[in-house]
Structure 1
Amino acid sequence: MATSPTSAGLSSTYQRMRGVSPPDGIDQVEIEHRGHPPPLSITELSQTAQRALAVGASIAWMLVSSSLILVNKHLMSNDGFHYPMALSGLGMGFSALASWLVCKVFRWVDAKKSISLRFYMTRIVPVGLFMALTLHFGNVVYLYLTVSFIQMLKAFTPIITMIALFMTALETPTRQLISSVMLIAVGTAIASYGEVNFSIIGVACMFASESFEATRLVMTQIVLVGLKFNAVEGLMYMAPACFAWLLLGSIVLEGQLILQEGGLQLIAAKPLLYMTAAALGFAVNALAYVVIQTGSSLTLKVLGTVKNAVVVWLGILMFAEVVTPLQGFGYLMSLIGFGIYNYIKLRPKTPERSYKSIPAEDVEQPGPETVKGLT
């Protein structure tokens, strides 16, 4: 099941982007659950243990993320499960359940925030719609494009995101920023020109996925800015909304085809494979959280770039995909531009804009648990 290209829920990149503080009316509280010890913080581990955990999580994230891409490609192209919205829905349904168990039942992740139903319906559900569209079109491309070419096109995402930020006045264009994205654009154009199995439908779906992802990020920055969810906690709130949209869309658009073409029989014949694919989607987000906690968001971005390059070679080895020298040159140019873009984006910024606070009535009052305010 595909995950959001940002793969870290409501990532710290946008939380730190403007130097904002939590909006008025959001109470961050530390809850002492009766009979349950508080979760162990990663920062409480020894320095050696943290380094070992960082290395292990980084390697695991790259392996799991790459495996998810290859499994999705296999299910969509080779196994005959041609229902991208249903496939995304399976992953989001599993993620919704797993993240709730991790945060609320086992309490392996410290989830401190509580939000009202009105806030959830008016702010999180709309963001979930664009997350669902991102995942849907992100899976559709596996029907038309090679794994290698898909990874190359992902380098184009910063350009669409930057345009969306410029249009909403959330980002000020600079010469360096424009130069980096232009390098990405030229490299992607060269890589596309050198692609042997070029499909206009596949490229259109890929750009649609990236456009919806950019919209989701902008909406997240405007609507949910200040709610500093970690990846798993954010997934606990976002995944149910995304799953609901995907379920509705799958019933309307794919339901009849699934029944006629035996889509349910495919799942029944290989339940372990589909369950594994669903679990991989959640694992990507959970491991991203650990990587950010033990390293930084920059670490995750660097690993993502390396992972995409590795997946290009895996596509060549596992699916006999062809990458021409011209295509490889274009992809290398895109990677250089992508590296410069990330360097610019992660430099310290000064606050440029304030946002409307979240109304106090949108925050649920604490329950019977003993609550003490964080210092």
Structure 2
Amino acid sequence: MGKGGYLSHSVIRNILLSYAYVTIWIFLSFSVIVYNKYILDKKMYNWPFPISLTIIHMSFCATLAFLLIKVFRFVDPVSMSRDLYLSSVVPIGALYSLSLWLSNSAYIYSSVSFIQMLKALMPVAVYSIGLGAVSFEATRLIMIQILLTSKGINLNPITSLYYVAPCCLVFLLVPWIYVEFPVLKETSDFHLDLLIFSTNSLCAFALNLSVFLLVGKTSALTMNVAGVVKDWLLIAFSWSVIKDTVTPINLFGYGLAFLGVAYYNHSKLQALKAKEAQKTTGQADDEAGRLLKGTESEKLAPKVDPGIRR
């Protein structure tokens, strides 16, 4: 850290990268939410089958991840033991399937703005997961963070999706068989618009990659705190374009959440400064120790009179 408490280049670089990851995730999450709302809403595309839509997404993600790893060799495969898969990937897949199913179902019955306001509680759930909070999404993000950072396996976003997407797909098939398959079977005019569902699935694939990238490079809490900005954008969009009702009390409550986000970002920046200062102090102490050790060695070394000839 330089004079006056300025951040070093490495810290600034990390901050800029974090904001880049957040920006990418916000854009993709915003796009997928609006796109899903368009497909599922009865007043728009009118295809009210959230489990089927999620199954299409996961099938697309699993297939594309398999092709990128096994066929095109875009990234190297990762060896994972059976025990690690069962203890880490399977719970993530189960929680992910529940999270996607319930969140997509909500867009059939509720407005985008109302759902995003409810999601303002997500940072609290993620932060307090160790105290017993059991939110599906919060738990899933915590487990992704553990899988990416604490298991000793170098997983990138594509390999992470390669393992999680098929597992999530299997869990989704169970409710789909009993809830939506009978209805789809009786629907004679059932068809898929290839352009709409392929582009929607591609957006979902990119979003899943960005989730693993953001959680792996920052943290689950950072992602959910940054999600408040995304929620503000969605609320503004739904109010101005979709014409959802947003009351003053809604905005006041979400404003409080935004102030909490600002305080969190300030605290995190101060922590980075303190960490950088500690690192710089440690390096200075090490350098001083080496110099002191060298000085003591010179004092203890035997002196030879230059006048003595051997």
Q: TM-score, normalised on structure 1? A: 0.58
Query: Which of 120, 130, 135 is equivalent to 2:100?
Result: 135
Q: Which residue pairs with 1:280 in the alignment?
A: 203
Q: Which residue pairs with 2:7 in the alignment?
A: none
Query: Which of 185, 209, 222 is equivalent to 1:259?
Result: 185
1:113 corresponds to 2:78: yes
Return the offset for 1:313.
1.1
C-alpha separation between the residues in 1 aligned to 2:124 and 2:23? 28
C-alpha separation between the residues in 2 aligned to 1:288 and 1:159? 19
Q: Which residue pairs with 1:322 in the alignment?
A: 245
Q: Which residue pairs with 1:178 in the alignment?
A: none
Post-superposition Cα deviations, 1:252-301, rounded to whole Å, max 9, x if no partner, equal 22110122235x7242xx221111111111111334566689x8559866
* Structure 1 runs not aligned, ≥5 long: 1-46, 169-209, 351-375
Could you say which structure has the higher helix fraction? 2
Paired residue secondary structure (1:82):
coil
Query: Which of 158, 172, 181 is equivalent to 1:232?
Result: 158
CA contact (8 A) 2:21 2:213 kept: yes
Q: Report the residue type matching 2:162 in the other structure.
A: M
CA contact (8 A) 2:161 2:209 kept: no
CA RMSD of aligned residues (A): 3.6
* Change in CA separation of 1:216 and 1:284 when aligned onto 2, cut-off 3 Å: closer
Q: Which residue pairs with 2:3 in the alignment?
A: none
Q: Which residue pairs with 1:103 in the alignment?
A: 69
C-alpha separation between the residues in 1 aligned to 2:139 and 2:21? 29
CA contact (8 A) 1:130 1:212 kept: yes
Q: Which residue pairs with 1:241 in the alignment?
A: 167
* Range with bigger deviation, 83-92 or 60-69: 60-69
* Range with bigger deviation, 226-235 or 55-64: 55-64
Return the offset for 1:249.
1.9
* Structure 2 runs not aligned, ≥5 long: 1-12, 276-310
Q: Which residue pairs with 2:29 in the alignment?
A: 65
CA contact (8 A) 1:165 1:218 kept: no
Q: Report the residue type matching 2:40 in the other structure.
A: M
* Change in CA separation of 1:223 and 1:285 when aligned onto 2, cut-off 3 Å: closer
Q: Report the residue type matching 1:91 in the other structure.
A: H
Paired residue secondary structure (1:265):
coil
Paired residue secondary structure (1:155):
helix
CA contact (8 A) 2:160 2:212 kept: no
Q: Which residue pairs with 1:94 in the alignment?
A: 60
Q: Report the residue type matching 1:96 in the other structure.
A: A
* Range with bigger deviation, 215-224 or 272-281: 215-224
* Range with bigger deviation, 93-102 or 240-249: 93-102
Return the offset for 1:60.
5.0
Q: Report the residue type matching 2:31 in the other structure.
A: S
C-alpha separation between the residues in 2 aligned to 1:284 and 1:89? 15
Larger radius of gyration: 2
* Structural mapping, 1:4-83, within 5 Å: 61-77=25-41, 78-83=44-49
Q: Report the residue type matching 1:99 in the other structure.
A: A
1:211 corresponds to 2:135: yes
CA contact (8 A) 1:68 1:277 kept: yes
Post-superposition Cα deviations, 1:88-135, rounded to whole Å, max 9, x if no partner, equal 111111111122223333343x44521134543454223311111011
Q: Which residue pairs with 1:337 in the alignment?
A: 260
C-alpha separation between the residues in 2 aligned to 1:327 and 1:160? 20
CA contact (8 A) 1:100 1:236 kept: yes
1:161 corresponds to 2:84: no
Q: Report the residue type matching 1:304 in the other structure.
A: G
CA contact (8 A) 2:144 2:215 kept: no
* Range with bigger deviation, 157-166 or 338-347: 338-347
Q: TM-score, normalised on structure 2? A: 0.69
CA contact (8 A) 1:89 1:243 kept: yes
